[in-house]
Amino acid sequence: MPSGPSMHELDAGQVHYEWNHAIPPRLRIEPGDTVVFQTRDAADGYYSRASTHADVVNRGPFRGHPLTGPVEVRGAEPGDVLVVDVLDMKPAADFGWTAIRPGRGLLPESEFSKPFLQIWDLSDGTHARMDRRVAVPIEAFPGVMGTALDEPGSHSTMPPRKNGGNMDIKQLTRDSTLYLPVWMPGALFSVGDGHGAQGDGEVSGTAIECPIERAQLTFELSELELGSPIARVDGAWVAFGFDEDLDLAAEQCMATMLDLMERELDVDRNHALALASVVVDLAVTQIVNGAKGVHAVLRDDAIR
């Protein structure tokens, strides 16, 4: 008699800093299994509660997000889709950080010419406190979730890509589902770049950055035809587009959404576009990762 799905744990004691399908998997699982990941923050533990504005520049150049993985999903083949159900997400530290680094982010360096570091208090587990006056709800999610690329060699973790990666999608919190194209046998999934909260845009260049101690994810395989990531979030389909040009990112995003609408609503492409103009909401996911992100949202209750 076959055994049921298994639960696994993967700590952050060993990480990698690139997309490279030659990196051997740390864990092999079956479809249906669940993995509880620990992840490091984007700065690889560099900041502390005592860190200062000067530490933002002293940190040095970015070497890549520290990622936990890869995880091989047995039976996954190129052309499949890896379905990632996000079951739980919990910060691992009692503080997080948001940095302003001159020359990075949306606004001009002439206005923000000095480094700035905000340390957030996450100790109550529900809110991130900037000071006595300002607090925001903790809505933890991993900024990076992705499968291995089919192109050989080392690839930066900074820009989001067809494999997912550094998408910084704040909606991928607990009870969401991410659909990732599989480009290599085994999928070779990795995760990292924990966030305690983030606004669409991530306009300073960072969110509330923090390690994650419990990223609980369940993995399934689907034969759904998909060339770029999509998600199910809170009763809605969400499609994504990534490009250095924001217009092209939006175009890619809407092309994926129209594909979804044709399949889910059984309409032709012209009807899908006309309907999308009425019920689909476009938003900027992030503008700070080289390839900018745009997402389109189609809520189930938008159509009767």
Cβ proximity of 34 and 87 under 8 Å:
yes
> Which CATH code for domain 7-232?
2.60.120.580
**CB-facing half-sphere around the CA of 74: CA atoms within 13 A:** 8
Q: Which of these, 295, 301, 291, 226, lies nearest to 254 by C-alpha position?
A: 295
Amino acid identity, position 51 = S
pLDDT score at 1: 46
> Would the CATH topology of 7-232 be identical to that of 236-302?
no
Per-residue pLDDT of the chain (304 residues; tens, 9 = 90+): 457 899 999 999 999 999 999 999 999 999 999 999 999 999 999 999 999 999 999 988 889 999 999 999 999 999 999 999 999 999 999 999 999 998 888 888 889 999 999 999 999 999 999 998 999 999 999 999 999 999 999 999 999 999 999 999 999 999 999 999 999 999 999 999 999 999 999 999 999 999 999 999 999 999 888 989 999 999 999 999 999 999 999 999 999 999 999 999 999 999 999 999 999 999 999 999 999 999 999 999 999 8
> Which CATH code for domain 236-302?
3.10.28.20
Start-end of H helices in 39-92? 54-58
Name the residue ranges covered by the structural domains of the chain. Answer: 7-232, 236-302
Prediction pTM value:
0.95
Burial of 247 (0-12, 13-18, 19+ CB in 10 A): exposed
pLDDT score at 103: 84
Spatial distance between the Cα atoms of 190 and 265, rounded to a whole number of angstroms: 33
pLDDT score at 81: 98
By DSSP bridging, strand 230-232 and strand 212-222 are unpaired
pLDDT score at 132: 87
Tokens of 201: 């845009």
* Residue whose pair of structure tokens reads 């910084």 in the numeric block: 168
pLDDT score at 2: 56
Name 209's Cβ contacts closer than 8 Å, sequence gap at least 6.
41, 42, 43, 47, 96, 97, 98, 99, 193, 194, 195, 196
